[in-house]
Amino acid sequence: MSKLAAVRPAYWIAGVLLAVSVVVPLLVSTYAKDEPRLWGFPFFYWYQLLWVFISATTVSISYQLVMREERKRRAARGLDGGAGKEADK
């Protein structure tokens, strides 16, 4: 089995979300216009600001997906972090 086949879907989804949040704002043709205006602001400005919030959301979702997958992987290997709790006693 190849290493690529062993990658879980959560990692693929996280990668696609992160790629979208980086690539779409770089496509200048999608926002190089003045109309429509929102509260007097040209499309260019509010579209870029909208992508700040969209990117923050996609990064948050990606982080949650990867961390959930890592917790499952560590639990399956018996590395659930219990050793750190015993050392504190």
Q: Residue 14: inside a domain, yes or no?
A: yes
**Within a domain: 19:** yes
Domain of residue 39, residue span:
9-81
Q: Are 32 and 44 in contact (CB under 8 A)?
A: yes
3-state percent breakdown (helix, strand, coil) of the chain, nearest 5: 70, 0, 30
Identify residue 50 by its one-letter amino acid code: L
- In this model, does residue 87 exceed pLDDT 60? no
Considering the domain boundaries, does residue 88 fall inside one? no
**How confident is the model over 13-44, as pLDDT tens digits?**
888 999 999 998 888 888 777 788 788 888 88
CA 68 to chain centre: 13
HSE-CB for 52 with a 13 A CA cutoff: 6
Number of domains in the chain: 1
Residue 86 forms part of a structural domain: no
Comparing CA positions, the residue from 11, 18, 29 lying closest to residue 54 is 18
Residue 3 in any domain: the answer is no
Assigned domain for 16 exists: yes
pTM, full prediction: 0.70
pLDDT-derived band at 3, boundaries 50, 70, 90:
low
Higher pLDDT, 34 or 3: 34
Residue 87 domain-assigned?
no
